[in-house]
Chain A
Amino acid sequence: MAVLISSTRSRSIKNSLAKWLITFGGISVLFTLVLIFLYLLYVVKPIFESAKIESKVNISLQLKANEKVLATGVDELQELVYEITDTGNIDFYHLKASDPLAKKQFAVGEHSFSAHLFADDDFKQERVVSIANSFTANKLLHTASGKTLLVQPSFYAEYSNDIRKIIPQVNYPLGQGSLVIDEQQIPLSQLAFAMDEEQIVFVAFTKDKRLIKTNFIADDEFGSSSNGDDVEYETNYQLIDYPVDVVDEIKVTPDLSLAFVRSGSTVRVYSLTDEEEVSLKATITPTLNDNTYLTAMALLSGSSSVLLGDSSGQISQWFEVATDSGRQFKQIRTFDADNENTSQTSSAITAIYTEQFRKSFYTMTTSGMVNVFYTTSSAHLWQGQLTSSQPAAFAIAPRANGLIIIGNDPLDANKRNLQTFSVHNEHPEVTWQALWQEVWYEGYPEPDYIWQSSSGSDDFEAKFSLVPISFGTIKAALYAMLFAVPVALSAAIYTAYFMTPSLRKKVKPTIEMMEALPTVILGFLAGLWLAPLMEEYLPAIFLLFILLPLATVLTAFSWHKLPNKIKDKLPESLAPILLIPVIMLTTYVAFALSPQLEAILFNGDMRQFLTNDLGINFDQRNALVVGIAMGFAVIPTIFTMAEDAIFSVPGHLTNGSLALGATQWQTLVGVVLLTASPGIFSAVMMGLGRAVGETMIVLMATGNTPILDWSIFQGMRTLAANIAVEMPEAEVGSSHYRILFLAAFVLFIFTFIFNTAAEFVRQRLREKYSSM
């Protein structure tokens, strides 16, 4: 009665409401798939974006007319910037306005704090001529009359009422007096240094043309006090035998092991590790075009690579490589900062600036053009003009997310401008080429495909090549298919075509039951039960591949020869049941024979035989184990679909063939399989899709080593297992995290293609059958 009472109007409203709701629900399926696709893409996208550099703050500096800016720097959070002038002044400026609640208010660009670095009597009326940088914030000031001072502008955070304030300060790690670098105290024309807690190494070229090395060895530790008053150290002076009269540039690696000295277009590498003697390790002479010469040199983060820039705008990267004739410096790759081929004079590299932690670098050309490169991925990330002319000072923010450039004001020659830029360059190491092509990493003898996302050491460079893990995915899937396809298809053929309906009713759900088995259980059995078993009875496994078909055919033949009376009682339609004891017996025989076989053929231990005599590495959890275990996981998928396809081949086709005198087998091969072949194809595709994406079995049944090796006795790492292993440790938003998303995206696309193709073929087939 309720239906009658409610008005027609409200019923029709309800009806259309239901329609809309259901339509919305139906479309949400498509929406979900699209959402997954788009979200994965959204996370992956930033790694393929090139760098962006945007101007942020512009500060006009208050300097005297004859004062020159020599260096600049910024704190980690980019809230305070400083510059050091040749008169020994350091000035700090705010880059961020104060918190509205803070006690002391200041605006962007406001002057914060100044100091005169020359407090000691040593430095009266001195002018700084050069500043040498180390990879840390330490700066070495050298004056016209040969005085040297080590300063460290630093920052610390102070909290009051939950408001953070960055406070600048200047430290003197070795005190405020002048340091003695040259024993004879002659002014230096070139100076470089590097320091750690125990040692400082200086390499310098004096005005009287001697190349010297000096090191300070701390009695206790450098940097233990901020004013350096009580730091005591021992000094060692050494003279380096140097064949040339001119030195253009000197660099010392941060691990204090090497010094690179450039004179014109030749770079000499000296080893500094021996306390007694500095030895020439190598001479680098790049092959340059006519009229080109080296103009700049810089060390890449990580102490191994040197970058050489030349007058035509080319930069080359060199590092030591193990070759047949010992370790040699080799040119690894080149970068071109002059891809517009402008005139020689304006494209020469004037300076190369490297980042502190990553392998990115910035180059400056005569015309003020800035280029950004990343060495390992050979990526040219950015090109553009940031200043109208050569800057007086250039610095990269500690987190590599900003630049500080001090240059002349374009409008007023006497004014100096400090400009800051924000740099968006989070994933310079990832390019499409670096992911899929061989990459030459530092310390490796040649370019290679390597996946190694993390390591214990700090200056480790992550190596993201998707090739080994994609290869592993294909290898695992292939071995699984090699095992699964014959078994699943033959089972499908027999079940669909030869089996009696009553038996089929029982067999089909039993095999399909396997599809429901959680893969974690298959993986666990493969890893903890099958793998040790196969290692122990390795000969048995190979024996089985021969014995099983043999035993089956033998059984068939003996059945054929049986008297008809028995044949009637055991009809051929019971073949699968008859074969069960045969197969089990054969398996038992193979396993029982295994130790004897091993003793006779392989000196008692097949594993050792493989490793020692054949030189094949053997992993307990190898491709064979994965192939069998994942094969079992895939069999039901292929079986079900292939069986359906064969079973639904219209009966009149087979009847026609049989009526014309073909045997059962001829009918099967000539008519049924041919008709059902698209269905079988789509079954195999579905199976492949499943094998490619399977995670737990591979994770548990292999050693998960990302290697490129087809060997059946070695493991692999697949895309899916790699995600499962590394995702929990990947930092959100890092390159690693995004590359793992890319791996998921690749999997998604792989399986999308397989599934769509399979479904398409199946739908076509269904139409074809219904028309027959």
Chain B
Amino acid sequence: MNKWFKSGAPWIWLSAGGVSISLISVLGLLWLIASRGLSYFWPSELYQFDLLDENGVKSVVIGEIYDREEIPVGQLAHLNLDLDPEQEVLERLLIKTGNRELVSLDFRWLLSHNITNTQKPKDLVVVERRTHGNFYGYIDSMVVDGNEVDSNQLDELLTRVEGFQQQIDELQKSDIGAINYQLERLRLKTRKYQLQDKLTPERQAKIDSEVVNLNQRYAKLEQELMGYREEISRDHIVMRAMDGQLVTINFEYILKVTFNNQLNLLEKLSTFFSQIGGFIIEDPREANTEGGVFPAIFGTVLMVLLMTVIVSPLGVIAAIYLHEYAGKNAFTKLLRISVINLAGVPSIVYGVFGLGFFVYMVGGSLDQLFYSENLPSPTFGTPGVLWSSLTLAILTLPVVIVSTEEGLSRIPLEMRYGSLALGATKAETLWRIILPIASPAIMTGIILAIARAAGEVAPLMLVGVVKMAPNLPLDGNFPFLHLDRKFMHLGFHIYDVGFQSPNVEAARPLVFATALLLVTIIVALNMTAVSIRNRLREKYKMLEH
């Protein structure tokens, strides 16, 4: 035993434990996010619990089982439960009961001790709604245009409402949105003429006539909209809640009605995938706690693309300088230390710099020069997608530099000598020989930069991200790409919904789903980058021999 200790074997095993813990935590983390995130989309079973509490009062609770945990009896001493003295732990269930109009909290803890009967009735439904969250209960009756109808018309009615809803969205978003946008532009145009003292009566008349024209179109569209609204609110459904109360829900608010307990595996799978699809392409609802994350995905992608356009040339040029042009002197050493420091500066510092320098200083000056008609409300002098991508471009610059330089250093010197010996200039060698060979390394750097930028949140909170952006930064109104607009971001979405929303418990599954999406994107990007790099290394190893 003593000898074994002296040999150092226990220490070796302990250090192996370090590897194991790291591996478990990485894989466990991914598994945790994946399982929690995916279970959000899986249609869960609906339960009806018959309860009998300590005072002998009976009640019924309907809902999904959200969580279960075991707690020591000691923590429940204040409830004076009638328990087996041997028992040390009790099971407790967290039930999502929905029905926000009837109860103030849509979650409820049940002690399994109090449950007398648990069943899964086939005709129990969950109604997903536009507002007020889910409703759990039984369908009592359906009323179409004032007449009660059979409940097998449900799908038909839902499809009808969905059709109208799409038309309403179309009208509101593109047509009416465009008119509002044009009206705002006309207002600014007038203001600009006024500021420049060029507002001639002809110009004023022209603008006025355009405004009248737009207002007429607006009135017409609004009437159309009213028509659809009327159609959509024609029918309603009467639901019976867990306590027997009848609740009327207008079809206008219904998104989906599912009999979760009637689904077979195949149907469950199809619901699962359609839920995932909906999550990706839908807009968020209810202060981001329900619905999809499309604007956040869109914002993240657009911001990252803009950033890539800025960072790629800068990073590659800097790497080329460091590797091909810089001499071996103190200045180069200084440059390298700068690169390391740029990589090591906390991201929030970039946020502070971006806010002060880009937003207030550069943006503020741009507003003074070019957008004075908008003042005092700022155009570029406020956080926005352009400033965000610029800030992140500085943040990810070292990633591109380091990766590109690594690629350059793996290119054998003979290739450069060969090219130079044949009479090419240094620039030509770079452009035609070195860069094409290094392009996978550059690619790797850019992908790593994208992965870093997609996950960065802290600086964006200062320079352009918002919880709810009314408009996407890219739309059908001239000039199409609105670089001054604020945007939504997946990472910030996680922070905001998970920590700032009023009902964190209800939003938690959605946060896990968003986290899963983000992690998937980032892990995929990283793995691509790493595999490109590895292939590249092998290739050069072959070149060297």
Chain A contacts to B: CB under 8 angstroms: 3, 11-12, 14-15, 17-19, 21-23, 25-30, 32-33, 35-36, 39-40, 43, 486-495, 498-499, 507, 509-511, 513-514, 516-525, 527-529, 536, 548-549, 552-553, 555-557, 559-560, 572, 575-577, 579-580, 583-584, 595-596, 598-599, 603-605, 632, 635, 639, 663-666, 668-669, 686, 689-690, 692-696, 699-700, 720, 723-724, 727-728, 732, 740-741, 744, 747-748, 751-752, 754-756, 758-760, 763
Contacts and interface: CB of A to CB of B under 8 A. Distances in A.
A575 B451 contact: no
B344 A754 contact: yes
A693 B345 CA distance: 7
Contact of B428 (A15, A553, A689): A15
A519 B321 contact: no
Given A555-B13, A720-B348, A25 B455 contact: no
A695 B17 contact: no
B427 interface: yes
B436 interface: no
A404 B29 CA distance: 67
Nearest to A607: B75
A109 B350 CA distance: 49
A471 to B, nearest CB: 17
Contacts of A728: 461-462
B317 interface: yes
Interface residues of B, number: 106
Contact of B457 (A520, A552, A555, A556): A520
B388 to A, nearest CB: 14
Tell which of B8, B342, B345 has the most Cβ of chain A within 10 Å. Answer: B345
A599 to B, nearest CB: 5
B374 to A, nearest CB: 17
A632 B25 contact: yes
B14 A553 contact: yes
A32 B311 CA distance: 13
Report the 9 A-B pairs with minimum CB-CB distance, sorted nearest first: A604-B74, A693-B346, A665-B8, A26-B321, A518-B455, A490-B18, A25-B317, A556-B13, A18-B427
Contacts of A520: 455, 457, 491-492, 494-495, 518
Contacts of B515: 521, 524-525
B26 A663 contact: no
Nearest to A697: B458
Contact of A487 (B18, B342, B425): B18
B530 A509 contact: yes
B455 A516 contact: yes
Contacts of A3: 424, 428
Interface string B440-477: 00000000000110111110011000000000000000
Contacts of A756: 337, 340-341
Contact of A579 (B13, B349, B397): B13
A40 B451 CA distance: 28
B249 interface: no
Given A32-B397, A724-B458, A579 B29 contact: no
A498 B16 contact: yes
A692 B71 contact: no
B335 interface: yes
Nearest to A667: B8
B348 A744 contact: yes
A29 B23 contact: no
Contacts of B43: none
B318 A25 contact: yes
Contacts of B72: 595-596, 598-599, 604-605
A695 B492 CA distance: 13
Tell which of A493, A724, A727 has the most Cβ of chain B within 10 Å. Answer: A724
A30 B334 contact: yes
B451 A516 contact: yes
B335 A723 contact: no
A759 B337 contact: yes
A516 B523 contact: yes
Nearest to B6: A663
Contacts of B519: 517-518, 521
Nearest to B344: A755
A18 B14 CA distance: 55
A744 B48 CA distance: 55
A529 B7 contact: no
Contact of B22 (A15, A511, A666): A511
Tell which of B29, B333, B427, B523 has the most Cβ of chain A within 10 Å. Answer: B427
23 contacts: A11-B428, A25-B320, A26-B318, A29-B335, A35-B357, A36-B349, A488-B22, A489-B18, A490-B17, A498-B12, A498-B16, A514-B25, A521-B33, A524-B498, A583-B20, A595-B71, A635-B22, A700-B498, A724-B462, A727-B352, A732-B360, A747-B349, A755-B343
B197 to A, nearest CB: 12
B540 interface: no
Contact of B16 (A576, A727, A754): A576
B535 interface: no
A491 B339 CA distance: 28
Nearest to A740: B352
Contacts of A740: 352
B22 A560 contact: no
B135 to A, nearest CB: 26
B110 interface: no
B518 A518 contact: yes
Contacts of A747: 345-346, 348-349
B338 to A, nearest CB: 5
Contacts of A559: 13
B72 to A, nearest CB: 4
B75 A752 contact: no
Nearest to B505: A528
Contacts of B526: 513, 516
B455 A664 contact: no
B20 A751 contact: no
B498 A527 contact: yes
B280 interface: no
Interface in B1-35: 1, 4, 7-27, 29, 32-33
A498 to B, nearest CB: 6
Given A598-B74, A665-B11, A724-B348, A26 B325 contact: yes
B9 A519 contact: no
Nearest to B493: A520
A23 B462 contact: no
Interface string B58-75: 000000000001111111
Given A491-B22, A528-B508, A755-B341, A695 B426 contact: no
Contacts of B522: 516-518
